Structure 1
Amino acid sequence: MELTDQEKIRRENLAKIRELGIDPFPAATFPVTHLAADIPQQVETDAEGNVTNLQEVTLAGRIMSQRIMGKAAFANLQDSSGRIQLYVSRDDIAPGEDKTLYNTLFKKLLDLGDFIGVKGFVFKTRTGEISVHVKELTFLGKSLRPLPTPKRDEEGRVYDEFKDPELRYRMRYVDLTVNPQYKEIFRKRSRLITSMRQFLDDLGLMEVETPILQPIHGGAAARPFKTHHNTLDVPMYLRIANELYLKRLIVAGFDGVYEFAKMFRNEGMDRTHNPEFTAVEFYVAYKDYNWMMETCEQLLEHAVQSVNGTTTVKAGEHEIDFKGPYRRLTMADAIREYTGENIDGADEEELRAIAKRLHVHVDKTMGRGKLIDEIFGEKVEGHLIQPTFITDYPVEMSPLTKKHRSKEGLVERFELMVNGKEIANAYSELNDPIDQRERFEDQLQLAERGDDEAMATDEDFLRALEYGMPPTAGIGIGIDRLVMLLTGQKSIQEVLFFPQMKPQAPAAPKN
């Protein structure tokens, strides 16, 4: 491994720290009592502005800057919450005759990015900055690579910022250290999942786990990742959906189940798609899609309010309000409203003609359902900014959905569209095993025509349905896209800690 000059210096410092008898990677627990960002909120002062509390605080984190001034120094410590200024005096941290801790370790061997622990008291500097006067200093971890450090020239231009998206996504450990403002995205993501889980628990549903490695790729129309199980000598698939397993649990007698799950689809990548994504799906017995629409409104209103303190979010030039009720529009009415075309009763050839008039690209592998999906996706989705339920899909688009109770050729399904993208997909679940088998057979015909997203027949799921499943409502909600909305992000990579990336090109050899 070829090292840069900076990396060589840091390894030399590492060796010198060991020579001092200090372990540069200690294993002992360091008892932190305060976080940097909390201290300014907790400070109490007297009439002269002197800090009267926080006489003993213990913090740990990275050194992000140093200003050495002989026998004293200022430094910035960054922990998980933010930064705080440290004041370090030689005679405080090295009170005896041996000044090695300050003169050698702190002044010469401590590099930016190193971890230290400090113990001291809080005070205000002459300029009024809340700081920690360090009385004890402990070395906690050596950084062998220098962190990117932005530099500003005389004209105020900034250089060497760690802003390149590909580098940021590839090296999150660096990104979130030098760009800590992005941590709030992931804190909101965590709060969102927590608030949704609380809502579903309060609804009386049980959280469950279902297989990620499955013998059949079912539950959605998508291309799977395929692998091989050596012991069983059978092909296996990473799940594209957990729907069929959750419905098996409804058959088993649970009234309501939910799962926050990772899904995997071997498809394209763009600003709103990642091959691995997170969704929450829940299924409730003795309910239908009308009940699920109302529940979805309540869930999202609760979650957005919990995360952002308001039901409105800013998405580019739009302000989106998640407070219910949401607009409801059938798929046929939505296509008619935004294109002027009527798809009611249109057969496959008529749909191809409509697509051609609308300049929507289609191919011969597409059946009636896929054609309608393409028309809707190209010409309607982008107009649906405020939360809108698109309801009553054609039966060909929904092989797992109960047929509409009063509208021939349609099913009881809705998708929630927000800011031009699908956020949720829900059904009155199909519980007729004979009808379900026929739908699987229709999917098989599409697969034979070349549709690699067609759903496979799951004989075990059909067997489960034959034992009887009550009327059931089910929904899947995409967590990643919802986080994008709540945090104002335009790219899904911004809301994933570790998005999928192309392999990194090897470094060019140096002459």
Structure 2
Amino acid sequence: MSNIKKIYLNKKKKIFIEKENRKIKLKKLCNTGFNFPNSFHCNNTVKNILSLYKKHTKQELKNININIKIAGRIIKKRVMGKASFFIIQDCDYEIQIYIKSNNFQKNFYKDYILELDLGDIISIIGIIFKTNTKELSVNCHKIELLTKSLHPLPDKYHGLQDQELKYRKRYLDLMSNNNIKKIFKKRSRILSVIRIFMEKKNFLEVETPMMHSIPGGANAKPFITYHNTFNSKMYLRVAPELYLKRLIIGGFNKIFEINRNFRNEGVSTRHNPEFTMMEIYMAYSNYKDMMIFLIKLLKYITKKICNTSTIYYDNYTIDFKKKIKKITMINAILHYNSNIQKSDLKNLKKAKKIMKELKLLIPSDISLGEAINIIFEKTTEKKIIKPTFITSYPIEVSPLAKSCSKNKSFTERFEFFLAGYEIANGFSELNDAEEQKKRFKKQIIKKNKRKKKNIHYQYDKEYITALEHGLPPTAGLGIGIDRLIMIFTNQKNIRDVILFPTLRPIEI
């Protein structure tokens, strides 16, 4: 047996013994009447205590004699004969607890306090003071176990080392790594800032269905579920677009939704099957107006979160005050790939040749527009570092966008790229019902021809009926919230900004 395997088995055995010992302790406690008490109420937090009293001198604290009631998880223990020092953690703040045996009834210190383990959640009542080393502490005169932890804590200094374990057991990651908490606090703050901005701009936040009878609003594979009462298949939504535009037709002029979308596709550092999107719709505007709006939103977030116009991601500096580049999809391909010529993107045969060289799958019925889009995704997207609007998307990959007036093969659509990521997608909405029906039918024929599983694609006829009642000139925008959070928290993997990312099931 190798040394590594021996170490692993010894560690596993040690953890098992530790857990069994803790179970025995809990059983003894329960026999004495312990029942996970829930009547304790804190009158303070560690964060507040540190903020108010850290700068006080020993004498000042002695004079004011502050009595506090706090609770937290034991993360460190140091026993020194008839006195002990515990460190407890309340959220992401820590404080030292001084426990002297003389403050308690006979044998309580030995039989109760010293039997407490790392990970146990306790309540403390005591007086704030400073030790001789000037560390703010609590002189405990009452202590109670609230919850017994049956598992040893992760290493406080190194945290969880197994990256997948961090995702599977996020609660352990949060216990041992305050930086992770900071990421998710920042995520919450960003979402709050976005909502404040939208409200200031007089947008109404709405909610639309998460289960659809017909998947639509984006060209993506849906998750299938089943409605027992209706005896029919349902689909987790791939996008809320068609429902949101119904609301614009109904008379709302400015709306947005922040919610989950579900796409039954690949998992990577950039993709999670369940992800958060914000979709925005603004009547009497076009895609150019939405570009301006997006930059205003990003500037506002940056100012509120970073207190500047600049953010730093990886080795890149991103300044939203600088002029934002705009370039068509075709020109972007040419700019970032010197081996591709303009003539290659005007001819389907030549475009297929490029795809073949890139070892890409080529559907037999692929169109030139689809080929250009695939070439762009595979050769160009990740190279776009500075904030950039890519415009003029082919009509074949933009079935809901209005055609350009000068060239009907392309649409009034943009995608916004940052540090190699597509962050947002927006366009002038197609509001010609007959043209929309025609495009839907064409799209459905192709999707059903290419389908591999038991999904029979249909288009949303009710949406067409709604569109026939008249959709005003409207611009729409979708923002990938998770990717946006990645940029603002300087993370390289989308799983690091989602509390519980989708993972492969493990065999039990």
TM-score normalized with structure 1 length? 0.90
Q: Matches of 1:56 and 1:407 in 2, distance apart?
A: 75
- Equivalent residue for 2:101, pick from 90, 95, 103: 90
Deviations 1:332-378 (A, max 9, x none): 22122122432697243342134346665534353333311211111
Aligned counterpart, 2:114 = 107
- Determine if the alignment matches structure 1 residue 225 to structure 2 residue 232: no
**Shift, 1:288, TM fit:** 0.8
Aligned counterpart, 1:504 = 506
- Equivalent residue for 1:5, pick from 7, 17, 20: 17
- Determine if the alignment matches structure 1 residue 64 to structure 2 residue 75: yes
| Aligned residue runs from structure 1 range 11-90, under 5 A | 11-23=23-35, 25-28=36-39, 30-43=40-53, 50-51=60-61, 55-90=66-101
Aligned counterpart, 1:379 = 379
Aligned counterpart, 2:281 = 283
SS at match of 1:272: coil
Contact in 1 for aligned 2:58/2:130 (Cα 8 Å): no
Deviations 1:252-298 (A, max 9, x none): 10111111110000001111111100011010111111111011001
Indicate how the Cα distance of structure 1 residues 422 and 168 shifts in structure 2: closer, same or farther if over 3 A, else same.
same
Contact in 1 for aligned 2:156/2:176 (Cα 8 Å): no
Contact in 1 for aligned 2:57/2:130 (Cα 8 Å): no
Q: Matches of 1:314 and 1:170 in 2, distance apart?
A: 29
SS at match of 1:406: coil
Indicate how the Cα distance of structure 1 residues 324 and 255 shifts in structure 2: closer, same or farther if over 3 A, else same.
farther
- Equivalent residue for 1:490, pick from 475, 489, 492: 492
Q: Counterpart of 2:160 in structure 1: which amino acid?
A: F
**Shift, 1:392, TM fit:** 1.6
Contact in 2 for aligned 1:386/1:419 (Cα 8 Å): yes
Bigger CA drift: 396-405 or 53-62? 53-62
Aligned counterpart, 1:182 = 180
Q: Matches of 2:504 and 2:77 in 1, distance apart?
A: 37
Bigger CA drift: 353-362 or 300-309? 353-362
Contact in 2 for aligned 1:443/1:456 (Cα 8 Å): no
Aligned counterpart, 1:509 = none
| Aligned residue runs from structure 1 range 59-458, under 5 A | 59-92=70-103, 94=104, 98-108=105-115, 110-149=116-155, 161-323=159-321, 325-339=323-337, 340-342=340-342, 346-356=346-356, 362-450=362-450, 456-458=458-460
Contact in 2 for aligned 1:443/1:455 (Cα 8 Å): no
Contact in 1 for aligned 2:448/2:456 (Cα 8 Å): no
Bigger CA drift: 267-276 or 353-362? 353-362
Indicate how the Cα distance of structure 1 residues 59 and 46 shifts in structure 2: closer, same or farther if over 3 A, else same.
closer
Indicate how the Cα distance of structure 1 residues 342 and 315 shifts in structure 2: closer, same or farther if over 3 A, else same.
same
The gaps in structure 1 that reach 5 residues or longer are 152-157, 507-511
Deviations 1:33-73 (A, max 9, x none): 33223433222656776436571222211011111122211
Indicate how the Cα distance of structure 1 residues 225 and 343 shifts in structure 2: closer, same or farther if over 3 A, else same.
farther
**Shift, 1:301, TM fit:** 1.3
Indicate how the Cα distance of structure 1 residues 491 and 356 shifts in structure 2: closer, same or farther if over 3 A, else same.
same
**Shift, 1:145, TM fit:** 1.6
Aligned counterpart, 2:6 = none
Indicate how the Cα distance of structure 1 residues 16 and 247 shifts in structure 2: closer, same or farther if over 3 A, else same.
same
Contact in 2 for aligned 1:366/1:451 (Cα 8 Å): no
Contact in 1 for aligned 2:236/2:262 (Cα 8 Å): yes
Indicate how the Cα distance of structure 1 residues 224 and 48 shifts in structure 2: closer, same or farther if over 3 A, else same.
closer
SS at match of 2:393: coil
Q: Counterpart of 2:377 in structure 1: which amino acid?
A: G
SS at match of 2:47: coil
Q: Matches of 2:426 and 2:387 in 1, distance apart?
A: 15
Q: Considering fraction of residues, name the structure with more helix.
A: 2
Q: Matches of 2:504 and 2:57 in 1, distance apart?
A: 60
Contact in 2 for aligned 1:10/1:144 (Cα 8 Å): yes
Q: Matches of 1:7 and 1:224 in 2, distance apart?
A: 43
Deviations 1:398-433 (A, max 9, x none): 000011133332111110001111000001111110
Aligned counterpart, 2:5 = none
Q: Matches of 1:295 and 1:149 in 2, distance apart?
A: 46
SS at match of 2:403: coil
Identity among equivalent pairs (%): 40
Q: Counterpart of 2:353 in structure 1: which amino acid?
A: A
Contact in 2 for aligned 1:224/1:237 (Cα 8 Å): yes
Indicate how the Cα distance of structure 1 residues 10 and 196 shifts in structure 2: closer, same or farther if over 3 A, else same.
same
**Shift, 1:451, TM fit:** 5.6
Deviations 1:445-499 (A, max 9, x none): 3214416799741101000000111001110100111111111111111111111
Bigger CA drift: 374-383 or 240-249? 374-383
Q: Matches of 2:397 and 2:486 in 1, distance apart?
A: 27
Indicate how the Cα distance of structure 1 residues 5 and 359 shifts in structure 2: closer, same or farther if over 3 A, else same.
closer
Deviations 1:279-338 (A, max 9, x none): 110101111111110110011111122223333222222122234642111112212212
TM-score normalized with structure 2 length? 0.91
Q: Matches of 2:433 and 2:65 in 1, distance apart?
A: 68
Indicate how the Cα distance of structure 1 residues 331 and 344 shifts in structure 2: closer, same or farther if over 3 A, else same.
farther
Contact in 1 for aligned 2:75/2:156 (Cα 8 Å): no
Indicate how the Cα distance of structure 1 residues 117 and 132 shifts in structure 2: closer, same or farther if over 3 A, else same.
same
SS at match of 1:412: strand
Q: Counterpart of 2:26 in structure 1: which amino acid?
A: L
Q: Matches of 1:422 and 1:54 in 2, distance apart?
A: 57
Q: Matches of 1:115 and 1:47 in 2, distance apart?
A: 29
Indicate how the Cα distance of structure 1 residues 201 and 141 shifts in structure 2: closer, same or farther if over 3 A, else same.
same
Contact in 2 for aligned 1:219/1:455 (Cα 8 Å): no
SS at match of 1:411: strand
**Shift, 1:148, TM fit:** 2.2
Aligned counterpart, 1:463 = 465
Q: Matches of 1:224 and 1:404 in 2, distance apart?
A: 30
Contact in 1 for aligned 2:344/2:350 (Cα 8 Å): no
SS at match of 1:268: coil
Q: Matches of 2:304 and 2:65 in 1, distance apart?
A: 31
**Shift, 1:12, TM fit:** 1.1
